[in-house]
Chains A and B, each alone.
Chain A
Amino acid sequence: MSWFWVLDYLVLALVLACAVLTVAVRNLNGAVMALSALGTVLTVLFVILGAPDVAHSEAVVGAIALPVLYLVAIGKSRTDVARDANLGEERSREQT
């Protein structure tokens, strides 16, 4: 018998956990890292579901290009994000 359903449900659980982390992490850079992890795990899910070409584009766009785009946007909007690595949303709200 085939054991592929175990891998299917495991990767589905990982996708769900990464998506929850993307919303729940308070640090903006950490949320971008969780988005990158979501793209990586979603690549494995696409391969398991039998779509390798979609997995190609997901590995490039979802895991690399989209988080880099978000990082550039965050870095351009706030100039002191990378200097203080612990800067979360609460502290920035206190400052403004």
Chain B
Amino acid sequence: MTLIFTLVAIAEMAIAAPLLIRLAIGPTISDRIVAVNTLSTQAMLSVLFFAAAADRAIYLDVALWLASFSYLGTIVWARYLERELL
């Protein structure tokens, strides 16, 4: 069971690794925001499965913070693109 959770966490971060290519070559700023948003979701899932594998329930709150604040950041950047933040 622990091995499966660890393998899922490793696979999530390995899946999230090619997003850095889109982060590097993204033609517009929106592509990079999409890449960062997806990377944050994958990192949240990886933290969740690492908490289940390490059997520490206190790590789960980090996943909650990541899940809520990444979307807040995306919305803030969208407002910045519409020139309504400044």
User: Which A residues contact B (CB, under 8 angstroms)?
Assistant: 2-4, 6-7, 10-11, 13-14, 17-18, 21, 24-25, 27, 29-30, 33-34, 36-37, 40-41, 43-44, 47-48, 52, 55-56, 59-60, 63-64, 67-68, 71-72, 75-76, 82-83, 85-86
Contact = CB atoms under 8 A, between A and B. Distances in A.
Interface in B42-62: 43, 46-47, 50-51, 53-54, 56, 58-59, 61-62
Interface in B23-58: 23-24, 26-30, 32-33, 35-36, 39-40, 43, 46-47, 50-51, 53-54, 56, 58
Contact of A47 (B24, B26, B30, B47): B47
Contacts of B58: 52
Given A52-B61, A59-B66, A71-B77, A7 B50 contact: yes
A28 to B, nearest CB: 10
Interface of B: 3, 6-7, 9-10, 13-14, 16-17, 20, 23-24, 26-30, 32-33, 35-36, 39-40, 43, 46-47, 50-51, 53-54, 56, 58-59, 61-62, 65-66, 69-70, 72-73, 76-77, 80-81, 83, 85-86
A30 B10 contact: no
Contacts of B29: 27, 29-30, 33, 85
Interface centre among B29, B51, B76, B80 (most CB of A within 10 A): B29
Please report whether the interface of chain B is mostly helix, strand, loop or mixed according to DSSP. helix
Nearest to A11: B13
Nearest to A44: B43
A60 to B, nearest CB: 6
Contacts of B62: 43, 47, 52, 55-56, 59
